[in-house]
Amino acid sequence: MMPSDRDDFQAILNLLECEICNRPTSPPIVMCEIGHHICHVCRPNMQTCHTCRSDITQLRNDFAEFVSNLIMCTCRYSKYGCREQVNHDQRSQHEDVCPYLPIECLAGKGEKQVSKCGWKGMKSELLEHVRSVHGAEMIRLGQAVEGIECGGFDRTSVKVTLVCAVGDLFWLTAKNDMENNTRLEVVQYIGSKRKAEQFQYKHELTSLDGNTVISFLSSTINCFEDIGTVLDSNLCLHIDINFFKKLFVDINKHVPWYKLTIQKATN
């Protein structure tokens, strides 16, 4: 592409910027009464145009949508090796599943938090990395995880395991928080926030005597969310640790009637 062509291309991109967030728009693109266009992401939060204060209509800007679909963009992960070129409408869908999405390894054990090994790479390389560096015991295969070792209860401890289920990868974080007397568990999808919303996980714990059953269902959270914030949220399993030990943990610190299922979310 010649310098003048690049300038023309950039000028077109600038014209396609949303008047609100200043990002390239993609269909559906609506207009205000004067003709300024607003992207579909910003539209639900706006009553009047940010530029001229006129009302925002439901009219679509057909020309802007047509041009937007013609412009090909590189993936945001091109610096990591992706050579895919897609239009604006397809870009977010591609980036959700791009194999070059950079992933940080979170696997391991620790007190209060896991000491990260420092590995970063492609998602497609993660399973082999965990197997070779952290060991097979840090990997659970299959849609359901059944029967777990829960660790000691003399001090706070955290364990992060890689789970391979429904053709994808997830982190399972389990924490014995002795300071707050709580057992916490959460499943994080290894990938984008948009894709994480497509999965859910379910905990089922049956007591040793079979008389008590606990069930917890939640959507998965993406792996880029801060784990401390996640563990404080209602998207995480919380159990009183004394209750947990008394009803579900055997003398070998094993939870025999534990089941974690990961599945695609149902609408």
- The token pair at 139 is 């990997």
Question: Is residue 12 pLDDT above 80, yes or no?
Answer: no
- b/e 217-255 (16+ beta carbons within 10 angstroms → b): ebebbbbebebeebbeeebbbbbebeebbebbbeeeeeb
- DSSP, collapsed to helix, strand or coil, labels residue 86 as strand
Residue by residue, DSSP assigns 46-74 as: -SB-TTT-PBEEEEE-HHHHHHHHH-EEE
- Tell me whether strands 157-165 and 139-141 are parallel, antiparallel or unpaired: parallel
Say which range, 17-21, 58-62, 83-87, has the weakest mean pLDDT: 17-21
pTM for the full predicted model: 0.73
pLDDT above 70 as % of the chain: 93
Q: What is the pLDDT of residue 32?
A: 86
pLDDT in tens, 38-50: 877 788 888 888 8
- 67 vs 181 pLDDT, higher one: 181
Say what angle helices 88-97 and 62-70 make with each other, to 10 degrees: 50
Domains and CATH numbers, the chain: 3-97 (3.30.40.10), 109-116+136-264 (2.60.210.10)
From the list 130, 151, 178, 122, the residue with the least C-alpha distance to 249 is 151
The average pLDDT across 10-32 equals 74
7 band by pLDDT with thresholds 50, 70 and 90: low
23 pLDDT higher than 80: no
Please indicate whether residue 259 or residue 150 has the higher confidence score (pLDDT). Answer: 259
